[in-house]
Structure 1
């Protein structure tokens, strides 16, 4: 959701837990090591069977972005044809077979299995004004933050930006999360939350809703970031001996924070990254991902766009945390700094606590197939630096 965040390293389960999505990957100055993907030609009969309902829902999620994708030469012809396909399983299957070729994703070690996590749009209680209970500010973009596109000088840093502020005539790094949490920011306050952990999880997910006392909800989304690298707070808890690596979930982190309120500032300071938000129009649509189209619960995913181009149609085979199968076409409509790797996806589960519980526990093995327009050149495979 725009989806926001950053590199988990070994860490966390879903949510990209701590790291959920949100498509902004441009804060790091040093280029990331490239994933090395292999696209293995496959046949439609190689794909696991999908139900008609999942087929139609996944196809519709992908087709919802065709207004944007038809501007891309790779997808233009396919999207023009897709608009004419009726919502009938047989017609959709025929369209897919006629227009798309199947490729299985493989890691550099030729492994077809990868990591599938989940994320969601949280809803947290808050207020439009500061109160005794709502005292945690949700900031918009700071007025004194300067952004420099590095690829204008260093083409190899395409998509990378440096954030900072002027100190005299010197551009210095912008404040870390620890400084912002302690001293505030020269930025508009969009709303006030009741719990600093809610703000941290909101930044991890990259978008969400704030439940107001009058029944209204304020919808906010990722606007920018302070330029510091994301470090998972779950990793810090493991390093401190507070949690075991395999026990790190959003729930276990929140429980630890409730049991150790005096150490919450220390926990939050371990992640120097800080996300700034903007207000979004309220609607029944899902939040918008990196492709700037509403995400569809259960059928939109965040991906590593070094491996899978935004807008791609994928075939996903994984499981829920309870082991029940998830086999369906999904649309690559979002990115996230924590979503890195050759066989990697973060499945958007929707809005609210039920979706959050599912996303927070999801850390599954899975396989991904790329459904690519026939005759189009495959995505360029990144090379090791």
Structure 2
């Protein structure tokens, strides 16, 4: 895990230099004074010990002694970081969540659509069978089925979210998490609906895609996206904690965000200024990634677990501005003249 994080941080150092950067003052962050910095600091502490870069290690050591009052938490961020806009706004903010689904450990007439464990021959970065081939049954009969769901659309969106909870007929709950993917690039079903002319961009949401597939197109539309996600059982996370993110730790509702690690370091604080019907002005932590999250002004906000969280997350497609909090030396090193 640490080696993977170090590689991601090195990639950031090589890539962010190619993106424009602007250093702001904390007074430039709309709503900064009103945020709950204690919650943000707690979320930052949850993963900062995994950050092996020399710029981050002393800050993480100090985070444990920063105190737990609102004033102390805010002072911690203002003393050791500078806000940096990487890339050119507007940002694109979406939302994701941890679904709660009905399922079965064995196939039944109702529960007939599998989610799969990672095949043992699949290597990271390898291009494997496409979604269409897997849905057609190319992995069938190998004992890779982890659980069975009652709706192929739920299978698809579980893969989009990357984790979930499955309630079995006997009441037992299985948590599943991301175990790998088939190496194909993610392709947006929503953008395909827009291309076909059946929807405008403002009509596309997770709820609308699910409804359209169930009522109009059939699940073959989902094969437009060749990317396929495999799962593993998660049995070492307390029920009250969130799912496991890309850093190997639980993520927190409305305090964790998925980013593109080519531009934003995993573990970094990220100030979110989301526009739209339910605007957000909040400090979150970059603790996750996603196949569709690409670019310096792109973020996926984690909304929590269950139906209500899903209803909120599925409608988010808003602009705004994303500001990364970087260690002071790292922030100024990103400027063209290094000043």
TM-score by length of 1: 0.77
Higher helix share: 2
Structure-2 separation of matches of 1:94 and 1:265: 51
Residues 380 and 187 (structure 1 numbering): CA distance in 2 closer, same or farther, change over 3 Å? farther
1:139 aligned partner: 116
Give, in angstroms, the shift of residue 379 of structure 1: 7.5
Q: Hey, what does 2:305 align to over in structure 1?
A: 351
Deviation at 1:374, TM superposition (A): 2.2
Alignment correspondent of 2:230 = 276
Q: Are 2:169 and 1:213 equivalent residues in the alignment? A: yes
Q: Give 1:306 shift.
A: 1.4
Residue 211 of structure 2 is matched in structure 1 by 255
Query: What residue is the counterpart of 2:12 in the other structure?
Result: none
Q: State the alpha-carbon separation in 2 of the partners of residues 343 and 188 from structure 1.
A: 37
- Aligned residue runs from structure 1 range 145-224, under 5 A: 145-147=121-123, 161-163=125-127, 174-185=128-139, 186-224=142-180
**Superposed displacement of residue 52, structure 1:** 5.4
Residue-by-residue CA offset, 1:90-119 (whole Å, 9 max, x unaligned):
111222222122223342xxxx32111111
3-state SS of 1:130 partner:
coil
Q: Where in structure 2 are the equivalents of 1:1-385 lying within 5 Å?
A: 36-50=18-32, 54-69=36-51, 71-107=52-88, 112-143=89-120, 145-147=121-123, 161-163=125-127, 174-185=128-139, 186-260=142-216, 263-281=217-235, 282-283=237-238, 284-319=240-275, 321=276, 323-376=277-330
Matched residue count: 320
Residue 265 to residue 43, structure 1, CA distance change in 2 (3 Å): closer
Give the whole-Å Cα distance in 2 for the aligned partners of 1:314 and 1:265.
Answer: 36
The structural deviation recorded for 1:178 is: 1.1
Q: Which runs of 5+ in 2 are unaligned?
A: 9-14
Q: Are the structure 2 counterparts of residues 314 and 116 from structure 1 closer, same or farther at C-alpha, using a change threshold of 3 Å?
A: same
Tell me if structure 2 keeps the 8 A contact 1:208–1:220: yes
Which structure 1 segments of 5+ residues have no match?
Answer: 1-22, 27-32, 150-160, 164-173
- Structure 1 distance, partners of 2:295, 2:247, is 19
C-alpha RMSD of the superposition: 2.5
CA contact (8 A) 2:86 2:263 kept: no
What CA deviation, in whole Å up to 9, does each residue of 1:106-153 have, x standing for no partner? 42xxxx32111111111111111111100101110124x342x6xxxx
Give the Cα separation in 2 of the matches to 1:54 and 1:357.
Answer: 24
1:258 Cα deviation after fit: 2.4
- 8 Å CA contact 1:305–1:335 kept in 2: the answer is yes
Change in CA separation of 1:55 and 1:361 when aligned onto 2, cut-off 3 Å: same
41-50 or 362-371, larger mean C-alpha shift: 41-50
